[in-house]
Structure 1
Amino acid sequence: MRHDAAGAELEVPRPAQGYAGDVAPTLAWQWVQAGRARLVDVRTDAEREWVGYVPGAVPLAWKQWPGMQPNPAFDDGVRALLAQDDRPLLMLCRSGARSIAAARRATELGATAYNILEGFEGDLDEHGHRGQRGGWRHRGLPWRQN
C-alpha cells in the first residue's frame, strides 16, 4: 500500500499527470460502495478468468492477450460508460501500471478517471510473486475466482 509521508494510507486521491489522480484500493472500494464511481477492470480477459475478478466491475481490457495488443474496443467502451452517467472511472489492472495508461486515455475521451494504486495483485515480492505486497486481493476487498 502506498502511504503518505507520515505512513498513513492514502485517504484522498494523489494528484497525477494526465488523469484525475491515484487512489488507494480501499478508497476506491469506498467510492464504489457509495455509488460515487465505477470500477473498470482493464486487465485482459484471461487475467480476469484465471486470476480473479471483482464482482460488479466493468470488464474493459486496455490490452488483450495474446500479444498484449491494444484493445480496439477500449475507446467505445469508455464512451458507452460516459453515455450512461458522469461518475468517475476507477481503473484497475494487475499492478497499477496499465491502469495509468487507461486512465490517461479515458481522460482524453472526457472521463474523470483515476488509477487504483497497487492493482489487483500488488507488487512483486522478493521471490518474484504477486499477491503478498499490496493489491486489491491482499487488502481483503471483494473478489471472486472462476
Structure 2
Amino acid sequence: MNAAASSPDDLDPPRPAEGYAGDVTPELACRWWQSGQAVLVDIRTDAERDWVGYIPGAIAIEWKHWPGMQVRADFDEQLRAQVPAGSRIVMLCRSGVRSVASSRRAAELGYQAYNILEGFQGDPDEQGHRDTRGGWRRRGLPWRQG
C-alpha cells in the first residue's frame, strides 16, 4: 500500500482482546469518536469526572460507584438507553482497567466494544503519580476541568 492510500488507522490498528472487540490507543479512539465512527463512553465515577476532568460530548455511565466500587446495577439499562444497539463503543476509565470489564459486558450486550488503553490518566510513575505516563489527558486529547 502506498503512503497516499494509507490512513492513520492503518498505523494504529486495534489490538486483539479476549471477550470484546479489542484495545485501542487514546488517539485512535479519539479519531473514531470525532469522526462519528464510535461512541465514547466514560465509565469513570462521577467524582472522577468532577475532580479530575471530563470529556465534553462523551456519554457518562459509571461502571462502579464510589465509595463501595460495586458494579452499578443499572449499567446495562443506562448503556442501552444512551447508546444505540450494535454501535461501536470506545470505553474510557482512569487507567484502562475498569474499561476492560465494561467492554466485556458491553460486548455481551451486543455492542462492538473497545477498551481505550492507558485510560484518562495513564499509569502511575515511580512516585505513584498519574498524568505523567500516557493517558487521554497527557496525550493532549479533548478534555475539560470541572
TM over 0.5: yes
Question: Partner residue of 1:73?
Answer: 74
Q: Is the 8 A contact 2:42 2:59 kept in 1?
A: yes
Question: Partner residue of 1:23?
Answer: 24
Question: Partner residue of 1:138?
Answer: 138
Q: Give, as a single letter, the amino acid of the residue that structure 2 aligns with 1:102.
A: S
Q: Is the 8 A contact 2:40 2:92 kept in 1?
A: yes
What stretches of structure 2 of length at least 5 have no aligned partner?
A: 1-10
Q: Give, as a single letter, the amino acid of the residue that structure 2 aligns with 1:119.
A: G
Q: Give, as a single letter, the amino acid of the residue that structure 2 aligns with 1:145.
A: Q
SS in 1 for 2:40: strand
CA RMSD of aligned residues (A): 1.1
Q: Is the 8 A contact 2:121 2:131 kept in 1?
A: yes
State the distance in 1 between where 2:91 and 2:46 align: 15
> In the alignment, does 2:123 pair up with 1:123?
yes
- TM-score, normalization by structure 2: 0.90
Q: Is the 8 A contact 1:90 1:116 kept in 2?
A: yes
Q: Is the 8 A contact 2:85 2:110 kept in 1?
A: no
Q: Give, as a single letter, the amino acid of the residue that structure 1 aligns with 2:89.
A: L
SS in 2 for 1:90: strand
- Count of residue correspondences: 136
What stretches of structure 1 of length at least 5 have no aligned partner?
A: 1-9
**Structure 1 consecutive aligned stretches of length 4 or more whose deviation exceeds 3 Å:** none
CA apart distance, 1:87? 2.6
- TM-score, normalization by structure 1: 0.90
Higher mean C-alpha displacement, 84-93 vs 34-43? 84-93
Q: Is the 8 A contact 1:106 1:112 kept in 2?
A: yes
CA apart distance, 1:20? 0.1
Q: Give, as a single letter, the amino acid of the residue that structure 1 aligns with 2:113.
A: A
Question: Partner residue of 2:100?
Answer: 100
